[in-house]
Amino acid sequence: MAERVHRDFLTIPDFSRRELDGLLTLAEQMRTGAYVARPLAGQGLAMIFVKSSTRTRVSFEVGAVQLGAHPMFLSSRDVQLGRGETIADTARVLARYCQGIMIRTFAHSDCEELALHADVPVINGLTDRHHPCQILADVLTVVQQLGTYEGKVIAWIGDGNNMANSWIDAAWRLGFSLRLACPEGYDPDPAVLARAQATADVRLVRDPAEAVEGAHVVNTDVWASMGQEQEQADRVRAFAGFQVDAPLMRRATREAIFLHCLPAHRGEEVASEVIDGPWSRVWDEAENRLHVQKAVLAALMGGVPIT
């Protein structure tokens, strides 16, 4: 196949603010049913999973079908990647059959390596460092629920993990305020944080109450991410006092909503009264994965304009 110009989506800043707004608009058209085209008819989407998934796998698979493409779930346990075939060779071969590749893996550098060698768009479905599709869905949820992300204060409570890093990227690109409360030793990526703090209102504090003061959105995630299972006991100790419960939610603004990318551990990072209570928008948030990813697939694989 002749080399062609393509773009990847590995982190939020791969798109300009204008393009991100365009993706959100397109995603909303997908949600309401206003967009019914099948720009990916006849195309193939390879979906490599080195880590587990419920939402990412199902939403990409259904979304690709709705746009006319054929998605392929490729567990690293089954494909030759799991037996030592290199990422570069896997990328070169898959790009000969498929018009796009989605990957969920551990090292972010593996995702970058795949993108470097694939002559088709590569989409990051989560790495240890970033989860851009989820944050796009979260920002769409904020816009749906609060009308806009502009002027909003987002609070992040807990681990400075892949989700936190992508929220920081989004605050940098889109200009909303972000308050992160992370226990010492569990900070976000210093380079991601420093880049954002040069121009955006992004603050890292140690006290969850300080972070949620005046917040419109309160957001958390598991204390031990995929690959950190053996740290669970240490992390439960380190994150004591970081549970999002009703008293903490009451410190936020009156209209505040609660988001969680899921899967959730009730009684650890979030109390049942919050995730199952009136603040919670987590099911809409999960649904939005489908809509934003369809917008990304349509833009990157189908050439659908977003500006």
- Give which of ligand CP, ligand NVA, none residue 54 binds (C-beta under 5 to 8 Å, depending on kind): ligand CP
Nearby residues of 124 by Cβ (< 8 Å), 6 or more positions away: 8, 9, 10, 11, 102, 103, 104, 108, 111, 130, 131, 132, 133
Of residues 174, 261, 270, 296, which one binds ligand NVA by CB under 6 A? 261
The site for ligand NVA, by CB under 6 A, has a size of 9
Q: Does residue 135 belong to the site contacting ligand NVA (CB under 6 A)?
A: no
Q: Are 221 and 269 in contact (CB under 8 A)?
A: yes
Applying CB under 6 A, the span of 41-49, 115-123, 203-211, 217-225 interacting with ligand NVA comes to 217-225
Burial 269-280 (b: 16+ CB within 10 A, else e): bbbebbbeeebb
Q: How far, in Å, CA of 105 to CA of 26, rounded? A: 27
Q: Does residue 290 belong to the site contacting ligand NVA (CB under 6 A)?
A: no
Q: Which is nearer to ligand CP, 53 or 76 (CB)?
A: 53
Q: So which residues are the catalytic ones? A: 104, 131, 134, 221, 261, 289
Of residues 50, 222, 275, 296, which one binds ligand NVA by CB under 6 A? 222
- Give which of ligand CP, ligand NVA, none residue 161 binds (C-beta under 5 to 8 Å, depending on kind): ligand NVA
The site for ligand CP, by CB under 6 A, has a size of 8
Nearby residues of 162 by Cβ (< 8 Å), 6 or more positions away: 126, 127, 128, 129, 130, 131, 225
Q: Are 144 and 287 in contact (CB under 8 A)?
A: no
Q: Does residue 111 belong to the site contacting ligand NVA (CB under 6 A)?
A: no
How would you classify the pairing of strands 100-104 and 70-75?
A: unpaired
Taking residues 157 to 196 in sequence order and writing x for each that binds ligand NVA by CB under 6 A, - otherwise, the string is ----xxx---------------------------------
Q: DSSP characters for 197-232?
A: HTTS-EEEES-HHHHHTT-SEEEE--SS-TT-GGGH
Q: Does residue 225 belong to the site contacting ligand NVA (CB under 6 A)?
A: yes
User: In the complex, which residue's CB is closest to ligand CP?
Assistant: 56
Q: Which residues bind ligand CP (CB under 6 A)?
A: 53-56, 126, 134, 261-262
